[in-house]
Amino acid sequence: MTFSVWWVAYYTILRKEVTRFMRIWQQTLIPPVVTTSLYFVIFGNLIGPRIGQMEGHRYMDFIVPGLILMSVITNSYANTSSSFFSAKFQKSIEELLVSPTPNWVILAGYVSGGVCRGILVGLIVTGVSLVFSKLTIHNMTVMMTVIVLTAVLFALAGFLNGMFARKFDDIAIVPTFILTPLTYLGGIFYSIKLLPDFWQLVSHFNPILYMINAFRYGFLGVSDIQLGWSYVIILAFTVALFRINLVLLYRGYGIRT
Amino acid sequence: MQPALEIQNLQKTYASGHRALDGISLTVRQGDFFALLGKNGAGKSTVIGIVSSLVNKSGGTVKLFGQNIDENFAKAKSSLGIVPQEINFSIFETPFQIVVNQGGYFGIPRRTAMERAEQYLTQLKLWDKKDVVSGDLSGGMKRRLMIARALVHRPKLLILDEPTAGVDIEIRRSMWEFLKNINNDGTTIILTTHYLEEAESLCRNIAIIDEGVLIEDTSMRSLLKKLAHETYVLELKAPLKVRPEEIPGFLLLDPMTAEITIDKSVGISKLFETLESANIEVQSMRNKSNRLEQLFLELVENSRQQQIR
């Protein structure tokens, strides 16, 4: 196969994915905006002034980057997990499996779809946050690279969830019991410096902490984590998940008999 | 010329331990219209699954137009179109989206895929449904949609796994015509079906699988020659009230219609002599269409008895 053939296949999968989440925008784009708006109102506007400053910034300004990244994480994850599982469930994944599309193109197409949804929701949430906060950008390159890499990482994680899922419940378990707790404990609402030493140490085992802090650095220039470590962690998880997904696709895990 | 499909010693044992295929070898020539028959669970769909790479084989080789599917994956798959037994498209997408996207997966540029989608959906009488959510299509429409989808990349080999199952006779006949036309245009077709009349009227060559073993691989003509008996349906000129006891194998369906089964060696002239001597005048006569069904059952039964011995 030539590059142009791969490109057509990749573009087709991506277009299909974007069409899918745009078709059901009431389920994919609106709920995260409602949820984060409530966070802005309750934690930022009502409780925030009583908390005062966090790391030298207004509490509202402090939580905005984390809330934007949280919406990116949950949406890029949800897109690939639900779309891939749905394709498995309806057997429409066979349309791709009988075609000459290589596995890495299939993976790239689905992940790009997840990234598009994550970034789009992130942009909408950023727009809403402007009502509550004057966003400043400390380092555009860091902000952009972290948001894209994080979206890629969680789109890959969602894809893995979709591959392992046998029933619809299986794609709800991981976000509910793993992703959400890790995100909330990843320093969206607080600096880990507020925690006792032991819990600070425990927090360092949470990969989402590295992403949120790096993203916050892009906006505010403050971080609990060294920026270099954040990139190392994000890239390491991304490479590992890409490799695992590719091996599972090659073996046909859950999709070939 | 390379065969369209060449299968050597194909084996499949499922994780449960069930041996679905036990060393099947099969060759389908280019341009052929080939029937693959077998009872439910005989192994037909497993063969198709392996050829289309939806099922991992346990052993053997599969070549499509000389390309080994394990070694030259992309080239082999580009020549293959599959119409599966079960509906396998997204019920939330429209027929147009489904066909165009399938073209994309085969690297067909979008504009070309859209033109071909229009062509095949029109030919299969689905163009007026192109923007309907495919979950709302009738069973026959869904099957025709899967044919259009399988053709969008213009495969040289089209495999259809029971494409007319549950489809009414009118649509079935129109699908037959469509398949005959694309076969005449050069597409090799492999068909599995439970309607043996369908295989008899469409296919030139035939293979029969039973319990994972190939029990017959021949031309339709030579297979039908093996038929020891022939059954004819007779339209009578005058009503007949009583079955003539002196004619063996004579069955009166109604006063104007009878069925007669004769040994093939007897011949038609002799049959007419017998009928004439019994004062039975025949208006018209035709072969009973399920003769292949009868032969199929005989072959499967013979194969099983040989295995028991």
pLDDT tens-digit readout, A114-164: 999 999 999 999 999 888 888 888 999 999 999 999 999 999 999 999 999
Query: What is the per-residue pLDDT for B238?
Result: 85
- Find the mean pLDDT for residues B280-303: 73
B257-263/B250-254 β-pairing: antiparallel
Which residues of chain B have a CB within 8 Å of the CB of A102?
Answer: 74
The confidence band for B222, taking pLDDT boundaries of 50, 70 and 90, is confident
Confidence of residue A245 (pLDDT cuts 50, 70, 90): very high
Give the confidence band of B187 by pLDDT, cuts at 50, 70, 90.
Answer: very high
Per mean pLDDT, which of A130-134, A181-185, B112-116, B199-203 is the most reliable? B112-116
| Chain B residues within 8 angstroms (CB to CB) of chain A | 14, 49, 52-56, 73-75, 77-78, 80, 82, 84, 86-92, 97-98, 101-110, 149
Q: Which amino acid does the sequence have at A227?
A: L
Q: What angle do CA A79, A80, A83 make, to 5 degrees?
A: 80
- Residue B145 vs residue B244, higher pLDDT: B145
On the question of pLDDT at B292 being above 80, the answer is no
Give pLDDT tens digits for B31-56. Answer: 999 999 888 888 888 999 999 888 98
Residue B90 DSSP class = -
Three-state DSSP class for B135?
helix
Residues of A in contact with B158 (CB under 8 A): none
Long-range interactions of B15-24: CB distance < 8 A, separation 24+: B19/B212, B20/B46, B20/B212, B21/B46, B21/B47, B21/B50, B21/B57, B21/B58, B21/B60, B21/B212, B22/B211, B22/B212, B22/B213, B23/B60, B23/B213, B24/B60, B24/B209, B24/B212, B24/B213, B24/B214
Q: What is the ipTM of this complex?
A: 0.86
The predicted structure's pLDDT at residue A9 = 95
Q: What is the pLDDT of residue B290?
A: 58
What's the rounded Cα separation, in Å, for the pair A147 and A123?
11
Distance CA A226, CA B159 (A): 58
> Average of pLDDT values for A74-94?
93
Q: Please give the average per-residue pLDDT across B80-104, as a whole number.
A: 93
pTM of the model: 0.83
Residue from the list A19, A95, A252 with its beta carbon closest to the beta carbon of B102: A95
DSSP run (H or E) holding A20: helix A3-23
Average pLDDT over residues A76-83: 95
Query: By three-state DSSP, how is residue B66 classified?
Result: coil
Mean pLDDT of B138-148: 91
pLDDT of residue B259: 85
CA-based nearest distance A122→chain B, Å: 26
**Interface probe, candidates B64, B105, B110, chain A, greatest A C-beta count within 10 A:** B105
Of A13, A86, A100, the CB nearest to B73: A100
pLDDT digits (tens, 9 = 90+) for A47-68: 878 887 878 888 888 889 999 9
Which of residues A116 and A171 earns the better pLDDT score? A116
Count interface pairs A-B at CB distance under 8 A. 85
Residues 6 or more apart from B97 whose CB is under 8 A from it? A16, A19
How far is residue B234's CA from residue B255's CA, in Å, rounded to a whole number? Answer: 11
Average pLDDT, chain B: 86
Sign of CA dihedral A156, A161, A166, A170: negative
pLDDT at position A84, please? Answer: 94
Helix (H) or strand (E) holding A216: helix A207-220
Instruction: Please write the tens of the pLDDT for every residue from A188-210.
Output: 888 888 888 888 888 889 899 99
Residue B125 is classified by DSSP as T
Q: Is A25 on the interface with B (CB under 8 A)?
A: no
Tell me the pLDDT band of B308, cut-offs 50, 70 and 90: low
CB contact under 8 Å between A257 and B86, yes or no, is: no
